[in-house]
A and B are shown apart, each in its own frame.
Chain A
């Protein structure tokens, strides 16, 4: 095998989750009367949830060794630092 052996996830179920979450996102953004601040938090939460589903199950990060997961995780704190320092610069 070219990759690590693991129990294969139900890809169609993941696709269904992604589809439902996308529909919920669009409905929440345009058809609900949720206050703007809460709406932003909800939409970001849903987007992160969808991104995690793709990364963990489609990119198989859930089944990869920690060494490889670190390669993907290392830029994330750096990304936060980049955004925060730029905001600080602007203040």
Chain B
């Protein structure tokens, strides 16, 4: 362990790609994120066009979706973003440890191991809450195909077709599950990637202030996922 740490400390700074001025992992992640911007634009753009192009009423999101629960989930993802950036700052400062007492302070100082674990747990909790939300929605009758016949929501839609968007339920269901589903898939991939890094690189202390490319690269991905959710939450749940 100590030998590998010494080798890490001796490793020269990562060579930057000519032209871009950054190392190749980071450049690659930025290019991927640029392509992901287009992917989510296609989804969000389609939703906007379908929703605002409809002549029939669209369901009020608060009537069908559990907005307070998703609000808490949004807060969870924002917390995971700040813990990710704290993990990045910790390794940049050479803090590889989990928690360390600080003289004269009650709170312990968190290192890379602590902050990345917090990020993984918050990300996993986000996915868990989303799965719970899906289960409850389907139970109430909101499916990707719209309001299930005979369900509680279908009855509500019959009683108040404007509030529940009785005519556009199928469109709402398919766009909602597609957008949030693809985002959830991105979060799941992020949690798996971070868990892999945690076990193979963070716990064996393979990162150092000289080279922490993996943390910075996965951090960029994770913040992007948070950024996309900020937009999705507003457009799907609040408007």
Contact = CB atoms under 8 A, between A and B. Distances in A.
B159 interface: no
B75 interface: yes
What secondary structure prevails in chain B residues at the interface with A? Answer: helix
What secondary structure prevails in chain A residues at the interface with B? Answer: helix
Interface residues of A, number: 44
Contacts, number: 135
Given A15-B82, A79-B38, A79-B41, A43 B238 contact: yes
Interface in B70-86: 71, 74-75, 78-79, 81-82, 84-86
Most buried by B among A2, A57, A79, A87: A2
Interface in A36-89: 39-40, 43-44, 46-47, 50-51, 54-55, 57-59, 64-65, 67-68, 71-72, 74-76, 78-79, 82-83, 86-87
Given A1-B209, A25-B238, A75-B34, 12 more contacts: A2-B211, A14-B82, A22-B71, A43-B234, A47-B235, A51-B231, A54-B226, A65-B22, A71-B27, A72-B33, A79-B38, A90-B53
16 contacts: A1-B13, A2-B13, A2-B212, A12-B82, A15-B78, A15-B81, A47-B234, A51-B227, A58-B219, A59-B227, A65-B20, A67-B20, A67-B21, A68-B20, A71-B34, A90-B53
